[in-house]
Amino acid sequence: MSEDARHSEESAGQDVEIAPLESRGTLCGFLLLGRWPENTVEWAKFLVLAVRMAAVPGLLPTSTVYAVHDELTDRPHPKAVGIITAAGQVVGKDALKPGALAAPRPHGLVVLHPPSHTIPSDPGFDTASGCVFLPGLPHLGLDHRAAWAQAAVDGTVTQLVSRGRIDPLTDADTAALSAFIAA
């Protein structure tokens, strides 16, 4: 059996688990447990959970960017495989600047917007929104991928989109996220 087939078989029975992290009443990140999301659809599932957390009143005061890393300084949980930590705000005097997250380049970026910063896809719901951007290396044939979600305060998902082969400049969230990792 090939190494790739063995890895695929091992991870097939193991779920991706997510644990939200909060500090002083603010959503400061997420711990990835078990295994990494393997594709854009699994990242979209993570995003739905993250956006539902962003919809909780008071947990996310402003639009925030999170960076995805696999290097853990210590092992906060025995099943921890990665961490997604708050990297900075999107707007305001302390907002991230272009290139701020270029080194070390994260595996992905997530932006979460609280309901006060989201134009809802369905006007009947007060929603939070978010985007996960998985940067590729287009010159090597690895395309950029992304997912977008909106969820109401009660947890209802009002929008979910997942795409591969995206041009980051065609969406405000992916354009901003790609600028933060541009060297």
In a domain, residue 115? The reply is yes
Token couple for 82: 């990665």
Residue 57's nearest CA partner among 131, 132, 130, 127 is 127
Residues 83-134 pLDDT 10s: 999 999 999 998 999 999 999 899 999 999 999 999 988 888 899 999 999 9
- Number of structural domains (the chain) is 1
In a domain, residue 143? The reply is yes
In a domain, residue 132? The reply is yes
Percent with pLDDT over 90 in the chain? 73
In a domain, residue 124? The reply is yes
Alpha carbon 183 to chain centroid, angstroms: 20
In a domain, residue 38? The reply is yes
In a domain, residue 62? The reply is yes
Q: Would the pTM of this model clear 0.85, i.e. be above it?
A: yes
- The parent domain of residue 156 ranges over 15-181
In a domain, residue 111? The reply is yes
In a domain, residue 116? The reply is yes
pLDDT for 138: 57
pLDDT for 7: 45
Is 51 a residue whose pLDDT tops 50? yes
Token pair 């290139």 is at which residue?
Answer: 99
Residues 6+ apart with CB under 8 A from 51: 112, 128, 129, 130, 149, 150, 151, 157
Mapping DSSP to helix (H, G, I), strand (E, B) and coil, where does residue 147 land? strand
Q: Which residue has the higher pLDDT, 140 or 30?
A: 30
